[in-house]
Amino acid sequence: MHLHILGICGTFMGGIAAIAREAGHRVTGCDANVYPPMSTQLQAQGIDLIEGYGADQLALGADVYVIGNVVTRGNALMEEILDRGLPYISGPQWLAENILHTRRVAAIAGTHGKTTTTAMLAWILESAGLAPGFLIGGAPLNFDVSARLGDASAPFVIEADEYDTAFFDKRSKFVHYRPRVAVLNNLEFDHADIFADLGAIQTQFHHLVRTVPRVGLLVVNGTDANLARVLERGCYTPVERFGVDDGWQAAAMAPDGAFQVRLAGADLGRLAWDLLGRHNQSNALAAIAAARYFGVPPDRALTALGKFRNVKRRLEIVGEIAGVTVYDDFAHHPSAIETTLAGLRRKVGAARIIAVLEPRSNTMKLGIWKDALAMSLDAADSVFCYGNGMGWDVQGAMSALGAKACVVEAFDDLVERIAADARPGDHVLVMSNGGFNGLHRKLVERLEKKS
């Protein structure tokens, strides 16, 4: 079958493309911007790419058009597909009907930690020799790819996003996956561009919970009141909780991040690794619990996680210049920003932390989190926020931080100011859910000149 994928260069749709190609289908695709690294990864797999959404792409004669959620009405190619009555389907639905329906699926959901926990579980199963399939919404450093088909009899681990499916299907992506195991890491209000309030997101999580069979497993953050309310609406599946005394626990945490893993108070072993922060300890507990369902005992899971290398853009060191360490991190929600800073502070002690934030997510652009922003950044010694013409008062939102906060509107000025402020021994934490105009590379280059 020939699939033509609209919006192919996103991580999720690119993952579907790679899996479909591995499954033996002919795959082509298009996107508004076709550029490395996704373009080169796809082309290396024999997938032809077209830049733009011209209606002339119908000449390819695809059997079905797989539509990413970046595609809207008014898109020239989509309009022609509709006018001609050609077959089309969303990415999640195609994946569910053609791949996942024969697999034991583990779906990793939550406002935060989805990508890391998905990568952890995939790595544990891989280390146990199960050759899992997976689709990870990032670049896992333990694998060469972010998505693969895996062995037909093996579990399939998927990052289960609550964002909507497509312009013609406003349900969350994860309701398509019909998992055997669902991990619910946490639940906060986000994606204000598609959800009216927290209750609307809880309803989608409730729909996910209703699809998990009685012989399956829910792995749930036992400290999250919002998730507790989701389960109160109906739960038909065994539940294992983490973060609570009668469930999975991280105990006896050492300064280097190592900790004991316990289940209902019983010691199961020690995890020594390089990851920082309590959020990663929670991610690990969830992955260990899910892996046990698939037959991997906790001691083997701990051994695997001891060799886990995380995902790109999760406190990733991108450069060390003249004593200044520059990190790239995906944090873009106040809770994630605060947790990331806490993890870095635990690592560097009293050393100076310079936090650099691009409020780029749709929710941030709407100003939903402006009142929580300053508090989330308080652990930093110096803060730079890229204003970039936001439609809300960024300066006012940051004013609670006093003189240590600086809002900068011009990108080149931002690079110069950070470089001028940085000195040997500092840790510069750059946070954005986008490319930030290549800030990391430009800052490293500027610091090299300074040195």
Question: What is the strand order of the sheet 259-263 is part of?
Answer: 147-148, 133-135, 156-159, 105-109, 181-184, 217-221, 239-242, 248-251, 259-263, 266-271
Closest CA to 391 of 410, 368, 371: 368
pLDDT on residue 34: 78
Give the DSSP per-residue string, 294-328.
TT--HHHHHHHHTT---BTTSSEEEEEETTEEEEE
**How far apart (Å, rounded) are the C-alpha atoms in residues 334 and 340?**
10
Nearest Cα neighbor of 183 from 149, 150, 143, 217 is 217
Count of CA atoms in the C-beta half-sphere (13 A) of 303 = 9
Q: Looking at residue 279, what is its pLDDT?
A: 82
What CA–CA distance (Å, rounded) separates 220 from 344?
A: 26
What is the model's pLDDT at position 362?
67
Among 404, 395, 406, 408, residue whose Cα is nearest residue 367? 395
Block means of pLDDT (10 residues each) for the chain, 451 residues, are 95 94 96 79 89 96 96 97 98 97 96 92 98 92 92 96 93 96 89 79 95 97 96 96 95 79 93 82 96 97 92 78 87 80 85 88 68 84 83 80 85 87 91 80 81 67
Q: Name residue 349's amino acid.
A: G
Predicted pLDDT of residue 36: 67
Structure tokens at 156: 């399939």
Q: Write the DSSP assignment of 155-211 as a string of letters.
A: -EEEE---SEEETTEEEEGGGGS--SEEEE-------TTT-SSHHHHHHHHHHHHHT
Query: Distance between CA atoms of 309 and 430, rounded to whole angstroms?
Result: 20
Token pair listed for 216: 């399956």
Domains of the chain, earliest start first: 2-90 (3.40.50.720), 99-305 (3.40.1190.10), 316-450 (3.90.190.20)
Phi, psi (deg, nearest 5) at residue 409: -90, -35
Per-residue pLDDT reduced to its tens digit, 331-379: 767 888 888 888 888 888 899 999 898 887 766 666 666 777 878 898 8
Confidence at residue 260, expressed as pLDDT on a 0 to 100 scale:
93
Longest C-alpha distance within the chain, in Å?
64
First-last CA distance in the chain: 56
For 146-182, the pLDDT digits (tens) are 999 999 999 999 999 988 999 999 999 999 999 999 9
**What's the pLDDT at 99?**
97
Query: What is the number of H-type helices and E-type strands within the chain?
Result: 15, 23
Instruction: Report the distance separating Cα 207 and Cα 209, nearest Å.
Output: 6
Report the candidate in 237, 188, 238 with the shortest Cα–Cα distance to residue 212. Answer: 237
